[in-house]
Amino acid sequence: MDYGKFRYEEAQKLKESRKKTTHVTVKEVKFRPKIGKGDFDTKVRHMRDFLEDGHKVKVTLQFRGREVAHPELGAKILDAALEQLGSLAKVETQARLEGRNMTMVLSPDKKPAKKSSDKDEPQESAPVVENVVQPEETSEVQE
């Protein structure tokens, strides 16, 4: 075997192995204890998008002033966010208070799904629901 050919094949193997690796990034979402319902829903929606893309999410809750005296309010908000995400996320690092911040790290529970395939599934299942024949059932009851 030619040494040049060997080097070329090794380079191709390395290139293939680099293609298959996934780069996991950590996205951060910041909350405050007195966050409004609309803002909370928007941030949770962003967290959902990040997790569906396969990213980890660091949830930071910032306390200011006397808010630090009530860490249970922060834990309540983090629990509510986790509850809305459901089975999409799993807790990698539990919520803990570090100075004036409470942090929790979430990672995606399943492999990232392609968004295009998610959009195709409801369209395929919709005609199946429409094909249910109900008028025949009512005609049999009337006879």
pTM: 0.62
List Cβ neighbours of 91 (8 Å cut-off, separation of 6 or more): 82, 104, 105, 106
What single-letter DSSP state applies at residue 134? Answer: -
Domains defined for the chain, CATH in brackets: 21-113 (3.30.110.10)
Report the alpha-carbon distance of residue 50 to residue 107 in Å, rounded. Answer: 10
Tens-binned pLDDT, residue by residue, of the chain (143 aa)? 689 999 999 999 999 888 877 777 899 999 999 999 999 999 999 999 999 888 999 999 999 999 999 899 999 999 999 999 888 888 988 989 999 999 999 999 876 555 544 444 444 444 444 444 555 555 455 55
> Which residues, 6 or more positions from 76, have their beta carbon under 8 angstroms from its beta carbon?
none
